[in-house]
Amino acid sequence: MENLEKAGLAVNYNKVPDTKSKSLPKRVYIWDETLRDGEQTPGVALTIDEKIEIAKKLDEVGTAIVAVGFPAVSEEEKKAVAAIAKEGLSKAIVAAPARAVISDVEACIEAGVKEVPIFIATSDFRLKYQLRMTREEMLERLVECIEFGKEHGLIIDYIAEDATRSDMEFLCEAYRTAIDAGADKICIADTVGFVRPEVMKHIVRQIKERLWSKSKYKVPMSVHCHDDFGLATANTLAAIEEGVTYPQVCVNAYGERAGNAAYEEIVMALEELYGIDTGVETEKLFGLSKLVERHFVVPLPLHKAISGDNAFTHSSGIHSHGQLTHSMTYEPISPNLVGRRREFHLGKFVGRHFVEYLLKMGGVKATPDQAREITDRVKRTHEEQKKTQSKVAFDKMKEDLKGLRTGVSEREFWEIVFDVV
């Protein structure tokens, strides 16, 4: 884009001052949840070695905070978290979450992590049906856990679960109470991916209005968005536009249900569309994505933004030819920026110019008639291919993929039940 802009041949509206919020931060710190929320993708369980390898890669790429697991889940999980904490990461802070329960915070302390995000819901609905607590009881529990963590020298964050469905006055009371008790950062969780980007901005502004008037309450803010409506990336960016500096993300958008905001999408949007520094070495993003995909054994959609196999592949003749005249014709960024290369896939949409280009690159001399024939044959080959076989293979592959999920399916669960009862 840069050269085209300089030459006055293309306009970049992303740089128009009016389109940038005054609250936009200059630096954003990536908080990765791949090994925690990401691992809660149905059917995924990582070995300690896989966790260590992913944590190291996240560190190498430039992640600020890596949540490496949930120590209270099991002794095995605590061991995995402790192994990473013991080994230590070179730059990233090793974090692990706790419910607002003292024994959860203790598990994090035993695992040896530096930072503990403590979460408890603020919506009246969750308090009534899930936690069965009054607002006062919830705040007491929160204070007790934060103070306990601070006494043990930890960095403590308060994650307001279900924040986007909570009464604003109470949500802010919870944040103030947490900060008074020693919380270093606060987090807005859109736990069920329920809000629109404009609503996310409204919520962040409301929180700032209530908290930032007193400097002691002006602590860094984080955001945790789920993708139930496909808005996790948009909502995360909306929060950042209002001054949130610690977006929580998962590589490849993995996570519970429809997943979380994608690490690679947030980083590339911030770096390329907003011009914000994330501290991430973007050329390493594709390697990170592939490593995580393989250990998760959850295949990415081919058309996934940034990291999907097709994200930089051109197929139609018009596009392929366009790419040859100038790389920016049909690409917003160079694939090299994320550690990839441009690819072409030929088929019914292929054009003669592109075929001629490939022949030239391959050092093959062909007459115009021959080039036309090659083009026609590529088109015909594609059009005449029968899909019956590939559909059978596809169905089998989908079934096989389900079989690769670890854990217990509903059917297997009932088999266990009838065996026991």
Nearest to 139 by CA among 122, 159, 123: 122
Instruction: Using the minimum distance from each CB to Mn ion, give the nearer residue, 190 or 241.
Output: 190
Q: What is the largest CA-CA distance in the chain?
A: 83
> CA 332 to CA 305: how far, in whole Å?
12
**70 vs 148, beta carbon nearer Mn ion:** 70
For the bound state, the minimum distance from the C-beta of residue 255 to Mn ion, rounded and expressed in Å, comes to 6
Amino acid letter at 104?
Answer: D
Of residues 272, 266, 263, 273, the one with CA closest to residue 337: 272
For Mn ion, the closer of residues 99 and 382 by Cβ is: 99
Q: Which residues contact 411 (CB under 8 A, 6 or more apart)?
A: none
Helix-helix angle 232-241:197-211, to 10 degrees: 30
Instruction: Kindly tell me which of 248 and 375 has the beta carbon lying closer to Mn ion.
Output: 248
Cβ atoms 5, 328 nearer than 8 A:
no
Residue 99 vs 210, nearer CB to Mn ion: 99
Which residue stretch of 33-41, 49-57, 130-138, 359-367 sits at the interface with Mn ion (rule: CB under 5 A)? Answer: 33-41
* Residue with Cβ nearer Mn ion (257 or 360): 257
Closest CA relative to residue 126, chosen from 165, 158, 174: 165
* Residue with smaller CB distance to Mn ion, 30 or 181: 30
Which region among 34-42, 93-101, 110-118, 358-366 touches Mn ion (by CB under 5 A)?
Answer: 34-42
Closest contact distance (angstroms) between CB of 33 and Mn ion is 7
Among 260, 126, 129, CA closest to 193: 260
Least distance in angstroms from the C-beta of 37 to Mn ion:
4
272 DSSP 8-state letter: I
List the one residue from 29, 30, 36, 37 that touches Mn ion (CB under 5 A). Answer: 37
Nearer to Mn ion, 38 or 317 (CB): 38
User: Applying CB under 5 A, does 271 fall inside the site for Mn ion?
Assistant: no
Q: Which of 35-43, 51-59, 122-130, 318-326 is the region at the interface with Mn ion (rule: CB under 5 A)?
A: 35-43
Reading the block at residue 75, the tokens are 């002794």
Strands 246-249 and 31-32: parallel
Query: Of the two residues 37 and 271, which places its CB atom closer to Mn ion in the complex?
Result: 37
Question: Minimum distance between the CB of residue 29 and Mn ion, rounded to whole angstroms?
Answer: 18
Shortest Å distance, C-beta 320 to Mn ion:
40
Task: Give the pair of three-digit tokens for residue 83.
Answer: 């192994």
Assigned token pair, 131? 């936690």
Q: For the packed helices 75-87 and 48-61, what is the interaxial angle rounded to 10 degrees?
A: 40
Name the segment binding Mn ion (CB under 5 A); options: 29-37, 127-135, 317-325, 361-369: 29-37
227: contact with Mn ion by CB under 5 A: no
Question: What is residue 166's DSSP assignment?
Answer: S
| Residue of this chain nearest to Mn ion (CB atom) | 37
Residue 77 found at the interface with Mn ion (CB under 5 A): no
CB of 371 to Mn ion, least distance (A): 54
Q: How far is the C-alpha of 261 from the C-alpha of 226, rounded, in Å?
A: 6
- Alpha-carbon gap, residue 281 to 60, rounded angstroms: 8
Rounded least distance, CB 1 to Mn ion, Å:
34
Piece of 4-12, 36-44, 180-188, 239-247 that binds Mn ion (CB under 5 A): 36-44
Q: Are 323 and 330 in contact (CB under 8 A)?
A: yes
Residues that bind Mn ion (CB under 5 A): 37
